[in-house]
Amino acid sequence: MSNTLSDWVKAFSDCEIPVLHQSKRRIQILQDNEQDITVTVLADIARQDPGFSMSLLRHAGRGGKKEITTLSHAISIISIPLVIKMLTELPELEKVVDKKNIVNILAIYAYQHQTACMAKQWSILRKESENNEIFTAALNRGFFSFMLYLIDSDMASQIENIYFSDIDNYVSKENKLLGNSVDEISEAIAKNWKLPELICESYSGKHHNPRITGIRLAAELMHQIYSHLSIHYSEQLINRIAEYMRVPVESAPGKLNSVIIKTIRNSQQYLPYQPLLLIMMSYPVSIKEEPEEIKTEIKGLKNTVFSEAIKLLQSNDSNKTIRELIEITVNALKDGSGFSRVLFMAYDKNGECVDVKFQSLDEGLSSIKPLRISLELNKLFSQLLKKEQTLCVSPKNQHKFSKLLPEKLRPMKPKATIIVSSFYVHNKATGCFYVDHGNTEKQLSTNDLKLFKVICTELKTAIESTLMKKNPLNKVA
């Protein structure tokens, strides 16, 4: 198509960048409810939509004389009314892009969002300021990848295959196919559009800015993870990242995994994140080796049951219904994680309540069904359903929360601990999980909470994948 930098700059000069359906929808809801739309609100929408954020940066760069640093800065330059008008009038990705390419673009969006979250977390660990500036730069560093799908989807697919399948020699192959490397083309376009300096300079290895080092290291780490489908990091990369994060080399892999989990959580409400989650669940033995105290808690059948449940939820070939996926999760929490009582309470929007739909109990424990909790009458569940969150009721805080729980759900022992967690799918309240150790003195361990969060995240991914199969345009919104 093009073989010089000027050709690429020209090819992208008039390319209109579509935005996600969810971005337009969020603005529409605010307008319908006559809510004030602030710079903060618009910046939050843009952070979840690389297409919209790139449109803002390009528009502000062309019209302003000052260098843009953050999305909030770009919105301030353009003005709130014009940004709202721009978002309303820009084409919707799900309507203008061929269905088969939407999933590819969404995967790139998730990849970019996770890279940005990672770079920002590293910056926070280093106690640096201007974290939003780093997030903006990292989020849009890979804009060429998704925009190429708008111009030439076949070439975009070839570039992705090169990038993710050949970690050592991908630059020379990019040069052969495109005439220049992706970084060289991206830098030329970024400078032409007067994008933030951090974005422009992040494409070049010739820099002395530690913020750019963080962005490039995050991009390199994500590249290695996706290329190898593994989080078994190379020694050389670990050494560089450990030095950048200012942590001992031996603790760097664990710290990295913790940051990756945060990036998944930050992405899960807005963008598909399953590829990275699936990779995280395939730990190399050297990293996944469990401490002895955890090994003694999860023995034989329990460990097997939990692992098999994860495989069933992750299966791409599964035709299981959402009901069956929830049942798998409930049983895994009961038999695989060792909880005595496990409930899933479905949210009824019309009735403004939650109903116990699934339960798994130790023998001898009384059935929880039927149980309907009115959100109007129960402040605890009303607050829980306002956003996705987890509440642990322990011996230390039982006096605060026990009386707010229906009698059937209150701790059965003075030292008992329970977990109540709201569950969201596609950014919508879906229900609540409840687990405890029943009529025993066993208390909640760190591993119990970890396993609970892992299986719930897997369930969310499986449900969203099921909904996506039924309708590829059923966007996360």
Which residue's structure tokens are 């591993």? 447
CATH class of 291-470: alpha beta
Residue (of 118, 246, 423, 8) closest to 435 by Cα position: 423
Which tokens is 377 given?
């009458």
Burial 161-175 (b: 16+ CB within 10 A, else e): ebbeeeeeebbebbe
- Which one has a higher pLDDT value, 28 or 318? 28
Sequence length of the chain is 477
CATH class entry, domain 5-280 = mainly alpha
Strand partners, 438: none
In this predicted structure, what is the pLDDT of residue 166? Answer: 62
Q: What is the pLDDT of residue 188?
A: 93
Query: In sequence order, what are the beta bridge partners of 229?
Result: none
Q: What is the rounded distance in angstroms from the CA atom of residue 434 to the CA atom of residue 53? A: 38
pLDDT in tens, 319-353: 788 899 999 999 989 888 788 899 999 998 887 89
Q: What is the mean pLDDT of residues 67-83?
A: 90
Residue with the two structure tokens 């975009």: 156
Neighbours of 379 (CB within 10 A): 10
Model confidence pLDDT, tens digit, residues 108-121? 888 888 899 889 98
What is the pTM assigned to this prediction?
A: 0.59
Helix (H) or strand (E) holding 382: helix 379-384
pLDDT in tens, 208-245: 788 889 999 999 898 888 887 777 778 888 899 989 88
Long-range contacts made by residues 318-325, C-beta under 8 angstroms, separation at least 24?
318/462, 320/462, 320/466, 321/466, 322/463, 322/466, 325/459, 325/462, 325/463, 325/466
User: Is 402 within 8 Å of 429 (Cβ atoms)?
Assistant: no
pLDDT single digits (tens) 383-409: 888 888 888 888 888 878 888 888 889
Closest by alpha carbon to 28, among 72, 95, 84, 86? Answer: 84
Q: How far apart are the first and last CA of the chain?
A: 35
Lowest mean pLDDT among 5-9, 80-84, 189-193, 230-234: 230-234
Q: Where are the alpha helices (DSSP H) in 80-209?
A: 80-89, 93-96, 99-125, 131-140, 143-151, 153-165, 170-178, 182-192, 197-201
DSSP state of 336: I
b/e map 69-91, b = 16+ CB within 10 Å: bbbbbbbbbbeeeebbebbeebe
Tokens of 463: 């449900």
Contacts of 299 (CB under 8 A, 6+ apart): none
Tens-digit pLDDT profile for residues 123-176 = 888 888 778 888 888 988 889 988 999 888 899 989 888 887 766 678 888 898
Q: Domain spans of the chain?
A: 5-280, 291-470
pLDDT in tens, 422-450: 998 877 889 999 998 888 777 777 777 87
Q: Which helix (H) or strand (E) holds 392?
A: strand 390-393
Q: Which helix (H) or strand (E) holds 390?
A: strand 390-393
- How far is the C-alpha of 65 from the C-alpha of 194, rounded, in Å? 9
Torsion of CA 469, 470, 473, 474, to 10 degrees: -100
Euclidean distance between CA atoms 49 and 286, whole angstroms: 36
What whole-number distance in Å separates Cα of residue 175 and Cα of residue 173?
Answer: 5
